Structures are given as structure tokens and as C-alpha cells.
Amino acid sequence: MSNWVWLDEPPPRGAAHWEQVAQNLRANEGKWVLLFEQASYSIARAMAQGNIVALADDGFRVVTRNHTTPAERQQGRPRLCDIYVSYKPKTDIPKRRSAPRVTKTDDGGTADG
């Protein structure tokens, strides 16, 4: 039992890890990094949907490769993939303007808002 590591507090949840990943990607703008090999697909989905705060910026791109095949999943293997990430700010893409807001008035007409 000498290999056990005893802590006074629970380990951190990992936010510092994601901040470091984001900093490294920003420092190497436009380059791709293989962040995980054969990781859970749910990690890639969380990254792509902006659920990891450090990577929620529009400039982060996530792609997956080397997926577990449907036949492998039928045999009970979990859904796994390699996860690649890159950062390139989207400064050259103009922001979309929202459509004017139209609201109904008391008399049944419309008014621009």
C-alpha cells in the first residue's frame, strides 16, 4: 500500500488543464494538435459545443478521426476517437447582424423594435 497517494483535499476538477491547453493553442495559432488518442467521443462533443469554458471561444476548432466502427460498437466497445484541436481567431469573418425585431401592437399591427 505504499504506492497510495494521500491528499488533504480532493484533486482539482481539471479547469487548469483546459486553460493550459487553450493558452498553448493560442500561442500556436493555426496549428493542429492531437490532444487525445482513443478518447471518449463525449469529450469531443463537449469541446465542439462550447461546454468546456476555456475552449468556448469561436476560434477553437475540433475534429475527430479514427473512430470506433459501428461493428466494434456492436461488440461492446465504447465510442472512441482521436481528438484534434486548433485555434484560429475568426477576425476575417464579419459578424452577422440580427434581423430587426418586430412586435405586435395592441391594435393588431406591428411595430419595429
Closest CA to 40 of 86, 82, 85, 70: 82
Fill in the DSSP letter of residue 22: H
Has this prediction a pTM greater than 0.85? no
Instruction: Report the C-alpha gap between 22 and 35 in whole angstroms.
Output: 11
Sorting pLDDT into bands at 50, 70 and 90, what band is 1? very low
* pLDDT for 98: 54
> Is pLDDT at 59 greater than 60 in this prediction?
yes
What share of the chain has pLDDT > 70, as a percent? 66
* pLDDT for 101: 55
Q: Which residues pair with 63 in a beta bridge?
A: 84
Instruction: Report the C-alpha gap between 1 and 90 in whole angstroms.
Output: 52
